[in-house]
Amino acid sequence: MTDLAPILIPDFDLSGRNTLALKAASRFGLEITDPAMLPALFTTARELRLPVRILGGGSNVVLASHFDGITAMIATKDRQIIEETASAVLVEGAAGETWNEFVAWTVDQGFGGIENLALIPGTVGAAPVQNIGAYGAELADHFDSLTAYDRQNEQVVVFGKDACRFAYRDSLFKQEPDRYVVLSVRLRLPKAWTPNLGFAGLSELAEASEITPKLVMDRVIALRLSKLPDWRVTPNAGSFFQNPIVTVDEARPVLEEFPTAPNYAQHDGRTKLSAGWLIEKTGLKGFKLGKAGISEKHALVLINLGGAEQTDIGALASHIKAEVLARFGVQLHEEPIFL
Ligand code: EPU
């Protein structure tokens, strides 16, 4: 397979392939169903002098209305138990697997570890890129390794945990977006499972007579459904801003005015504030600008009111950042990637 030009689909419509349902198209589109297609993809793109953009589940992106290049959608499917010992099970998912289905597959077999990350939209391959997290857990907690295609050296590389440089909603793959394409992810799930119930809404489960990964997963799903708008009904990309990690001096004006504002001490002495809280206190919950708006349900979620494009979401995001900066002196940073 050296030339993929014959199977590129021209004028590829992406409006149904991003959870914000933005009007978006690509000069060419292509589903990658086998990692072996990647070298040919990049060779073909070079020959056509076109850039390549990689798309997973489209849940953490704000797509441009037109991309003059090739959008490659990772659609590889496979999940398997690589190794099971007395102390742990090593599981692997192909990049194109739906993350939530992968979580349910592990939990259905009785394995605990990633149940707090249930129902996060997107794919297994996208999970390490922003080190997905929710309810006091993050991907890095049980991460073992991943394989990725290195576009620079044109070879498949294995990354251990340290090499991935995971941090809050960050990794090497987010920092070098044009270099690596994640192919598969391995997680090591401990047999001696301890539920992670520290987060409000989960702590009451500690009273249950028997706690199982399934019980925790079901509660996480119920919590998410009650707190966050469903992108199938109200198109959105989840949290639109990261929770800002600021210095004690930067947090002081907020905490002096609102002593009960949510704030979480970090290991490095800084403080994590809540972006949703800051936006709500700026008076923007439910605010609308053109075809984009802020969810009435959760102030950190931007929604497509109908027919929105990247520019509508971008304009609303800029407005929110300027208002929060003026009100609290805190700079917000977008979580989804503008592609
Ligand atoms: N809050 C408000 N107003 C709002 C929304 C939230 O005041 O409209 C307050 C809440 O009362 C709470 C605080 O803000 O005190 C935090 O809210 P929440 O518990 O909903 O969590 P979050 O910090 O907004 C983070 C993740 C979510 C994850 C939840 C649950 C980020 C950027 N977001 O949200 O992840 O599901 O915690 O663990 O870290 C995502 O990344 O797309 C995402 C949904």
What are the tens digits of pLDDT across the range 91-141?
999 999 999 999 999 999 999 999 999 999 999 999 999 999 999 999 999
Gap from CA of 277 to ligand 1 centroid (Å): 8
Gap from CA of 18 to ligand 1 centroid (Å): 21
Does residue 275 surpass a pLDDT of 90? yes
pLDDT score at 79: 98
214 and 253 housed in the same domain: no
Q: Which atom of ligand 1 is nearest to the CA of 121?
A: 42
pLDDT score at 334: 97
Q: Is 274 in the pocket of ligand 1 (CB under 6 A)?
A: yes
Pairing of strands 155-160, 143-150: antiparallel
Q: Catalytic site residue 169? A: yes
Ligand 1 atom 27 nearest Cα? 134
The confidence band for 228, taking pLDDT boundaries of 50, 70 and 90, is very high
Q: Is 166 in the pocket of ligand 1 (CB under 6 A)?
A: no
281 and 312 housed in the same domain: yes
- Find the catalytic residue in 239, 274, 295, 309: 239
Q: Which residue has the tokens 């086998």?
A: 34
Beta bridge partners of 289: 292
The confidence band for 1, taking pLDDT boundaries of 50, 70 and 90, is low
Beta bridge partners of 123: 98
Q: Are 28 and 51 in contact (CB under 8 A)?
A: no
Q: Is 295 in the pocket of ligand 1 (CB under 6 A)?
A: no
Cα–Cα distance between 336 and 339 in angstroms, integer? 9
Cα–Cα distance between 225 and 203 in angstroms, integer? 18
191 and 174 housed in the same domain: yes
134 and 46 housed in the same domain: no
In a domain? residue 1: no
In a domain? residue 4: no
Helix axes 99-108, 213-227, angle to 10 degrees: 150
In a domain? residue 317: yes
**Residue that is last in its domain, among 27, 59, 74:** 74
Q: Are 325 and 279 in contact (CB under 8 A)?
A: no
**Residue that is last in its domain, among 173, 208, 227:** 227
Burial state string for 89-107 with b = 16 or more CB within 10 A and e = fewer than 16 = bbbbbbbbbbbbebbbbbb
**Residue that is last in its domain, among 203, 227, 251:** 227
48 Cβ contact partners less than 8 Å away, ≥ 6 residues apart: 5, 70
Tokens found for residue 13 = 């419509």
240 and 204 housed in the same domain: no
223 and 89 housed in the same domain: yes
pLDDT score at 257: 97
Cα–Cα distance between 174 and 40 in angstroms, integer? 24
- Find the catalytic residue in 31, 250, 280, 335: 335
Name the residue range of residue 122's domain. Answer: 79-227
106 and 88 housed in the same domain: yes
69 and 83 housed in the same domain: no
In a domain? residue 216: yes
Ligand 1 atom 1 nearest Cα? 277
Short-list 168, 112, 119, 105, CA closest to 140: 168
> Quick one: 60 exposed, middle or buried, by C-beta within 10 A (0-12, 13-18, 19+)?
buried
Q: Which atom of ligand 1 is nearest to the CA of 335?
A: 32
Can you give the CATH number for the domain in which 257 is found? 3.90.78.10
82 Cβ contact partners less than 8 Å away, ≥ 6 residues apart: 90, 91, 92, 186
162 and 247 housed in the same domain: no
pLDDT tens-digit series, residues 4-30: 989 999 999 999 999 999 999 999 999
In a domain? residue 47: yes
pLDDT tens-digit series, residues 305-333: 999 999 999 999 999 999 999 999 999 99
User: What is the percentage of the chain residues whose pLDDT exceeds 90?
Assistant: 96
Q: Are 334 and 306 in contact (CB under 8 A)?
A: no
Cα–Cα distance between 154 and 304 in angstroms, integer? 38
Can you give the CATH number for the domain in which 34 is found? 3.30.43.10
In a domain? residue 2: no
209 and 283 housed in the same domain: no
Q: Catalytic site residue 79? A: no
pLDDT score at 209: 86
215 and 129 housed in the same domain: yes
Beta bridge partners of 52: 70
Ligand 1 atom 14 nearest Cα? 277
pLDDT tens-digit series, residues 128-183: 999 999 999 999 999 999 999 999 999 999 999 999 999 999 999 999 999 999 99
Can you give the CATH number for the domain in which 88 is found? 3.30.465.10
74 Cβ contact partners less than 8 Å away, ≥ 6 residues apart: 32, 54, 55, 56, 95, 96, 123, 125, 181, 182
177 and 205 housed in the same domain: yes
293 Cβ contact partners less than 8 Å away, ≥ 6 residues apart: 286, 287, 302, 303, 305, 316
Q: Which atom of ligand 1 is nearest to the CA of 169?
A: 39
Domain count for the chain = 3
User: What is the percentage of the chain residues whose pLDDT exceeds 70?
Assistant: 99
In a domain? residue 44: yes
Q: Which atom of ligand 1 is nearest to the CA of 242?
A: 32
Does residue 292 surpass a pLDDT of 80? yes
pLDDT score at 14: 98
Q: Is 170 in the pocket of ligand 1 (CB under 6 A)?
A: no
Beta bridge partners of 55: 73
